[in-house]
Amino acid sequence: MKQTLITVFFTFAMLSTYAQDIPEHISYTRIYDYLDELATDGLIDLNSVAKPFSRTFIAGKLLEAQAQKKQLNNRQQDDLTFFLNEFALEQDKLPDSKLNLAKNNQLTLGLVQPAFTYRDTLFRARITPILGMTITGNRNGTLIKRWYGADLQTMIGKHLSIYGSLRDISVDGPLLARPTYLNDYPGYEYKESTAGGDFSDSRGGIKYSWNWGSIGLVKDNVIWGDNFHGSNILSGRTPSFPMLTLHLKPAKWFEMQYFHGWLVSNEIDSTRYYMDNLGGKHFRMSNKFISANMFTFIPVRNLNLSIGNSIIYAEENDQPAYYIPIAFYKSIDHTLTKGLNLENQNSQVFMNLSSRNIKHLHLFTSIYSDEISWSRFLPSSKEKNPVSVKAGASLSNFLIENLSVTGEFTRTNIINYKHSIPAITWASNGYNLGSYLDDNSQEIYLALKYKPIRGLDLSLSYVDAKHGNEYNYVRNGHAIENIISQPVMGEITWSNKTVGFNAQYEVTNNAYAIINVAYSDIRGYDLSSTPIIGEVRETAQGYLNLFTPAYLQGKNTTVTVGFSFGF
């Protein structure tokens, strides 16, 4: 026991010396689930409101768990050993690999796990290949998705990190991700063809870090808000976008996240164009920016209260005032735009509450609001605030080892993510930054997950999702007041009931085999009421085409099998 404590002490001393911040992408869900499980079981403290986590942070949490290894069950111990090897470089060690093509005290070149790893006193690096394919089939045909590329992570000295990832994705078959589709597939800007489409996904960045913070310029995906089936604040579903980031944790009871990002508006700016050599005009998109902050306060251990605000703006140039990380952006907006007799920019507020005060139980709720008027909370008010609320709970390793039970309920009011100016909606590349169901919607999500052995995750899930009347944000006269006076979920235009079974096995680090079977019933509905100004009225099939790819419409049993190296 004494030797173990000494080892852990010196390892923590090493981690405090090296403070590099390479984000672990949100697609590696197994490590995020594992950390959440450890935190819910009371073994580590975790602020899970904002992802991605840095790899050094993850390594530190794994070492915290190692110090309490006797409290882990056998599967958790095996997972811990597995993950510690994945994050070996962050511990200033080389990973253990099988079938090494080369190995000495400075480098390894392994086939299992497939990676090249290097370390010396100044420089540490890892290069991993990315290769994968899934085959999906149902009564409507077969869809094949392939991807390949590489991932590079480097740490220079004690504080600097540079990372990059490039993957080329091709789809033979129907494209399941579109801005209007109400599903949680990652959003891509495809180069379309008659057979499907291609997408090149490039992420990366440079960060300078110290023991209690980091600053960086990155292009990546971000999730804000505790969830197990899509956040209603920032879901990470949009294509990655560039941003300046700032992360501070100067005290145990306080943590801050901030970024200023450059979004894609998909809106033409008629005043900006290139001229070709024949005199033709090639118009450019409107600029689109976002600033957002999130402050987490921890009054008692395992109780995290997070509050934040953001603004989306579309000026000709970025606004220096929105680079202030500790600011209420709506107030700044009023100062900058007062007297123009025009629309302000688009500001939002949000909060997240997470409690792991009861061992094995994680309770959480997140609230996102586009606009708040206190009078609208009165029972006498017909108008409703554009608010989205998610509430959920996860119970793990209670009575039955390795079994977790999760439930979530999400409800989003009318016009919550929209704006009357398309260039400043809560979206990038046309994809909603928040809930994948968009506004005027609700979802019940239930899941059982069982992990019988190291690396094998079995889950059974149920989704009951509904979308109500579809409205555009119209300010003509009192149209918007009339729109938000309509009953939330007054009529159902679309519904999705899906029962899914998913099995994934991480054979070795970065190498997956998966199988997914889903029975779904996705429908559109005809409406009988009289439409109002601003309402998008379609037939049942029209709503179905708007919200769901033809490949998944109606009743389907859809099977997906696949493998991947990298993520």
Which tokens in the block code for residue 314? 């579309």
Q: Is the pLDDT of residue 14 over 60?
A: no
Contact 334, 344 (CB under 8 A): yes
Q: Is the pLDDT of residue 193 over 90?
A: no
Mean pLDDT, range 320-342, rounded to an integer: 87
Q: What is the DSSP letter of 349?
A: E
Which residues in 451-476 are b (16+ Cβ under 10 Å) and which e? beebbbbbbebebebbbbbbbebbee
pLDDT tier for residue 10 given thresholds of 50, 70 and 90: very low
Task: Name the nearest CA neighbour of 222 among 243, 207, 201, 202.
Answer: 243
Task: Name the nearest CA neighbour of 258 among 218, 228, 298, 201.
Answer: 218
Contact 86, 95 (CB under 8 A): yes
Mean pLDDT, range 440-446, rounded to an integer: 98
Rounded Cα distance, 48 and 57, in Å: 12
Instruction: Write out pLDDT tens, residues 171-191.
Output: 999 999 999 999 999 998 888
Which tokens in the block code for residue 142? 């077969």
Q: Is the four-CA dihedral 314, 320, 325, 326 of positive or negative sign? A: negative
Better pLDDT: 290 or 372: 290
pLDDT tier for residue 519 given thresholds of 50, 70 and 90: very high
Q: Which amino acid would we find at residue 2?
A: K
Which SS3 state, helix, strand or coil, does residue 240 take?
coil
Mean pLDDT, range 523-536, rounded to an integer: 95
Give the whole-number percent of the chain exceeding pLDDT 90. 82
**Alpha carbon distances (Å) from 437 to 8, 12, 232, 237, 444:** 45, 43, 9, 12, 12
What integer best gives the mean pLDDT of the chain? 93
Phi, psi of 490 (to 5 degrees): -60, -45
Please report the beta strands in 370-437, taking only residues with DSSP state E, as ranges in sequence order: 387-396, 403-412, 427-428, 431-432
Q: Is the pLDDT of residue 327 over 50?
A: yes
- The alpha carbon of residue 84 and the mean position of all alpha carbons in its chain are separated, in whole angstroms, by 24
Instruction: Write out pLDDT tens, residues 226-275.
Output: 999 999 999 999 999 999 999 999 999 999 999 999 999 999 988 888 99
Residue with tokens 């409690």: 355
Rounded Cα distance, 232 and 469, in Å: 19
| Segment among 107-121, 361-375, 516-530, 547-561 with least mean pLDDT | 107-121
Contact 397, 360 (CB under 8 A): yes
Q: Is the pLDDT of residue 45 over 50?
A: yes
Q: Is the pLDDT of residue 13 over 60?
A: no
